Chains A and B, each alone.
Chain A
């Protein structure tokens, strides 16, 4: 059974940093791309970015709203994906979901974690 568990959320001040983790199980983590999607309170889903599998270079793509501030990485030996968030803004407040992508280079999210809440406030 595929499981994705996000951790690392919490309250952080504007301008500070936070790192989210996504611990995966139930599939061969290194074979798949992984993505992050967020949802501000009462709002819709927003695609944040994804990281390809090492077989496809482990490269990343980001939404314009986070490019240059957020970094996605992965540790295949631990089956963990990370979302490093720097220079946080109040508008980054959201539930952050980790998702498994159907494929190694790109594709759609076929499994989702339950999400972790990030609140950016002074």
Chain B
């Protein structure tokens, strides 16, 4: 079955740039999406279609994709950005079955 691979954890100091990667064989043909989940809350979409930012999401969140890897970048990470981040995409079967990466715990301290 199709898999998306993320690092389990990333740690930065406040004001630094955090980069979270997501690798998957179908990413050259499929969009990547990124969700932020804070403790005890439902996930929130922060990036869609590789690099677009929904309204209300701070400009410090950006996304990119190249080849088999998508990247979520948080420029000038804030303490409030500490959360779990999940990438999402679909497989290449044509049926649009979804798959999430294993998640990355971002620590900002």
Contacts and interface: CB of A to CB of B under 8 A. Distances in A.
A45 B96 contact: no
Contacts of B95: 61
Contact of A106 (B1, B44, B90, B102): B90
A77 to B, nearest CB: 26
Interface string A86-97: 000000000001
Interface residues of B, number: 24
Contacts of B42: 97, 112-115
Contacts of A45: 35, 37, 43, 86, 88, 100, 103
A47 B97 contact: yes
Interface string B87-106: 01010000111111111000
Interface of A: 35, 37, 44-47, 50, 61-64, 97, 102, 105-110, 112-115
